[in-house]
Structure formats: structure tokens, C-alpha cells
Amino acid sequence: MTCTRSVDKGCSKGLLRTIVDKPPVPNLPYNETQLHGLFKRYDTDHDGRLSRKELTSAFHSLGSIFPGWRAWRALHHADANKDGYVSENEFQQLVNYAVKSGFLLQ
């Protein structure tokens, strides 16, 4: 294997071989623990609940094509007391919704 002219400068045959020969990583679904941790990280105001804006950011990071719509659906699904937030005791419903939506690790 040789380096092409466009990458000759600083190209190491060993490094290039490692990059080229590396098998593709399969896209696996997030598990419940990973999703719970991800949603907790998006509680940016640290009030123990997720607003629609925070949910939109979380679904954007998950790769949702329409994160605002996905956040609205998640609120509709998980917000049992209809206060407009997903609180700690509603997180499991949020995680269940996200698992069913089939988001994959990137």
C-alpha cells in the first residue's frame, strides 16, 4: 500500500493501513442506561426536569431529522402530569419512547 500524492506529506504507511483496514463499526441501538444518561446531560438548568427546548437539543444530538417534532412527541408520551416538562419520575417513559424510536449509536 502506498500513500497517494495528496496525502504524501506526513503520511505514514502504517497509519494509513490502520485506517483503511479497520472494519466498519455497526450502528447499534442505544440502551436504556445510555439514553437515561444522555437525557440527564441535557438538563442544562439543573432543575431535575427536561423542557421542550432541552428535549429538542437531546433529540438533535441523537441524530433526529426533526428534533422539535420528536421533542413534542416525547413530551406527549412521557409528561404524565401535563406540566410541559419531563420530570425525574417521568424519565422512564421518556427512555421507553426513545428506545422504541430506534436511535442508533453514531
pLDDT tens per residue, range 47-75: 999 999 999 999 999 999 999 999 999 99
C-beta neighbour count of 75 within 10 angstroms? 21
Grid cell digits, residue 87: 420530570
* pLDDT at residue 85 in the model: 97
CB 77 within 8 A of CB 93: yes
The pLDDT value recorded for residue 27 is 81
Q: Which three cell numbers stand for residue 34?
A: 445510555
**What's the pLDDT score for residue 18?**
52
* pLDDT for position 86: 97
pLDDT tens track, the chain, 106 positions: 444 444 445 555 555 555 555 666 678 899 999 999 999 999 999 999 999 999 999 999 999 999 999 999 999 999 999 999 999 999 999 999 999 999 888 7
